[in-house]
Structure 1
Amino acid sequence: MGERIHAYFVSLGFSHEEASDLHLKYYTQYGLALRGLTKHHDVDPLDFDRKCDGSLSLEDMIQPKPWLRKLFEDIDRSKVRVWALTNAYKTHAQRVLRILQLDDLVEGLVYCDYAEPNFSCKPEAEYYIKALERAEVADPSKCYFIDDSRGNVQAAIRLGWGHCVHFSEHGLEVVEGGRAKQIDNENLSNGAKSNSKVPVITDLRQLRDTWPEVFKTEV
């Protein structure tokens, strides 16, 4: 994905160095590089989606994991409803959920609607407000939220979302200037500072201990 986004910046006439700088700047400022491109460079987000997200051979990159499906199956649906919140377009999100064999375990999807002239994305407040409206949730303090961007998590906390967790993948690889390097995704979280009150997990299975009340009790 990083390679394709970098190539898209370059296709707009930027040098490799400029493309890397703008990619990081827009991600840091808006939570999504595409938001900067649509705001400042009159880019068609659907064209971006076709050439970046839509061009990925996801079936060769990700596979279903039995433990992940079991994690979703063990969520107690009498207590909670499961929704997916993404900064991608709906087609990409639907592909990912389908490949991971989780689509039948997710009630609803909140996504960046690239068809809208001024779509919202995490960590913008409008995105979270839209999510609550879509899921028909009146009290955000009852929401459970996990995200791999610390900035997105802190935005949810500021809006009163009650049970928030940061999923921190260490060793994530990104492309800058056409070259890959290892990073910690905490460093790409809108410049947000660490919040010691927010639980941090490195494996989704740790949610069983972090949110034990939302999982079925084994008999």
Structure 2
Amino acid sequence: MAKPVTERVMADDRYIVWLDIDNTLYTRSSRIAELMIERIHAYFLSMGFTDDDAHELHSKYYTQYGLALRGLMKHHNIDALDFDKKCDGSLPLEDILKPDPKVRKLIEDIDRSKARVWALTNAYSTHANRVLRVLNLSDLIEEIFYCDYSSPDFSCKPEPSFYAQALSTAGVTDPSKCLFVDDNLNNVRAAKSCGWGHCVLYSEREEDHSMSEHPKVEGVDAVIGNLQELRELWKQVFQVVP
């Protein structure tokens, strides 16, 4: 099982592949994101907000802080672990998500003599590990750098401090060795602005496209519609097929 990081790892000069988890390692068609929005909205309603106020605050906090939970903690002093239990923890992941052999093979084919593979998520450790387990990817992810909801002032993507803490914890001394993929544009741009080497926006598409067909997006190195395109973008860390 992938391990949430609890202490700093010794410096390592290999590349490090940072994989976002939600809506990156599984498809948006699973509707996990929509189910999460419904649960967060219900949480706002349980606090006594009207339907309109709940929608407004949810959008405001997500936009301002990267997570609605951050706004709730800053302005309403809620219990983050209770929020996590009622929102992430109540998702029927086992009934919805299925392992994708192609994604597993993609991660398997990363040459571990050249690169480490870590997860970088705004979720808490319990949700991150649960998703990886359901997707049958736990054994391929070395460590998880996650949002520590148990801390009253945790950081998250896209805050620069989150990326700095991730580098420090992973023992990364050269951020140009970081290869990062995420489905959120702000998160990818933030990593790039922190000096990370190659930052990719994953914008899922049902049909196959070549990378040349993807639009250019300011502040990111590449846009992909299929995770398999990482084989070409990051060929320096993939095993050479005879």
Q: So what's the TM-score if we normalise by structure 2?
A: 0.79
- d(CA) in 1 for partners of 2:91, 2:140: 24
Segments ≥4 residues shifted beyond 2 Å: none
Q: Percent identity among equivalent residues?
A: 61
Which of the residues 61, 81, 87 maps onto 2:116?
A: 81
Question: What CA RMSD, in Å, does the superposition of the two structures yield over aligned residues?
Answer: 1.3
- d(CA) in 2 for partners of 1:157, 1:216: 25
Instruction: Please tell me whether the aligned partners of residues 192 and 219 of structure 2 are also in contact (alpha carbons under 8 angstroms).
Output: no
In the alignment, what sits opposite 2:223? 200
How far off its partner does 1:169 sit? Answer: 3.2
Alpha carbons of structure 1 residues 196 and 90: separation in structure 2 relative to 1, 3 Å: closer
Is 1:68 the counterpart of 2:91? The answer is: no
Q: Which structure 1 residue ranges, 5 or more long, are not aligned? A: 172-193
Is 1:162 the counterpart of 2:197? The answer is: yes
- d(CA) in 2 for partners of 1:14, 1:64: 38
- d(CA) in 2 for partners of 1:62, 1:203: 18
Secondary structure (helix, strand or coil) at the match of 2:115 reads: coil
Aligned length: 197
Instruction: Within 5 Å, give how 1:118-197 maps onto structure 2.
Output: 118-169=153-204, 194-195=217-218
Instruction: Please tell me whether the aligned partners of residues 116 and 142 of structure 2 are also in contact (alpha carbons under 8 angstroms).
Output: yes
- d(CA) in 2 for partners of 1:98, 1:196: 33
Instruction: Within 5 Å, give how 1:88-107 maps onto structure 2.
Output: 88-107=123-142
How far off its partner does 1:125 sit? Answer: 1.2
Instruction: Please tell me whether the aligned partners of residues 200 and 220 of structure 2 are also in contact (alpha carbons under 8 angstroms).
Output: no
In the alignment, what sits opposite 1:36? 71
In the alignment, what sits opposite 2:41? 6
Alpha carbons of structure 1 residues 213 and 120: separation in structure 2 relative to 1, 3 Å: same
Secondary structure (helix, strand or coil) at the match of 2:181 reads: strand
- d(CA) in 2 for partners of 1:71, 1:20: 38
Q: So what's the TM-score if we normalise by structure 1?
A: 0.87
Secondary structure (helix, strand or coil) at the match of 1:81 reads: strand
